Structure 1
């Protein structure tokens, strides 16, 4: 029984190290969110940090700043949604078969 418990603990420690490595690697993965047919592009990494925003010149209309704000918001939300998909794909391998609500 004791040997079985030690083996299980070793497996858990190994999985924890793999999870930490996968989580760290997410920082290097990037996704682009776009809006307005590519008028605004927001790039985020796997840690949900916005690392770049590109706004095409045509999107800048001083008489309609509200539209530009909406495009930036939409592109940002698109990027963050894609980050969630990447995180779920990468980290889901560790929670497969486990019912752990709120884990990721």
Structure 2
């Protein structure tokens, strides 16, 4: 198509690839907002669910842990479950990004956006 223009054909191909990557990244961001992970603490007594973007969506607390004298323990378990969910969310997002970049022929450990 642009053979007679020398390096401009390569530039057009590169621009098309960049636009394709941008479209795929936008779709991935939407997907991450809908993908959920669950973190837990206290052997499953407290569970926190978050989107892969890190937004907390649910918290499930086993009623057996409620005892007035254990307030600090319960708070610690809740925080631990939330942190676990956020860590899993970040890992999932990183896996999805690596999969996307690899499918585009880019190194899977490339940091995007630039």
Provide the aligned length of Structure 1 versus Structure 2: 103
Inter-CA distance 19–6: structure 2 relative to 1 (3 Å threshold): same
Inter-CA distance 101–27: structure 2 relative to 1 (3 Å threshold): closer
Q: Which runs of 5+ in 2 are unaligned?
A: 1-6
Q: Is the 8 A contact 1:28 1:46 kept in 2?
A: yes
C-alpha deviation, 1:99, in angstroms: 6.6
Inter-partner Cα distance in structure 2 for 1:7 and 1:27? 31
- 4+ residue runs over 6 A deviation: none
Q: Is residue 2:15 matched to residue 1:9?
A: yes
Report which structure shows greater RCO (CA 8 Å, sep ≥6). 1
Q: Give the TM-score, by structure 2 length.
A: 0.83
Inter-CA distance 18–102: structure 2 relative to 1 (3 Å threshold): closer
Inter-partner Cα distance in structure 1 for 2:111 and 2:20? 22
Inter-partner Cα distance in structure 2 for 1:34 and 1:86? 16
Partner of 1:87: 93
RMSD: 1.8
Match among 41, 45, 48 for residue 39 of structure 1: 45
Q: Which runs of 5+ in 1 are unaligned?
A: none
Q: Give the TM-score, by structure 1 length.
A: 0.90
Which residues in structure 2 correspond to 1:2-81 (within 5 Å)? Answer: 2-81=8-87
CA deviation vs aligned residue, 1:59-97 (integer Å, no higher than 9, x gap): 111111000000001101110110011001001232742
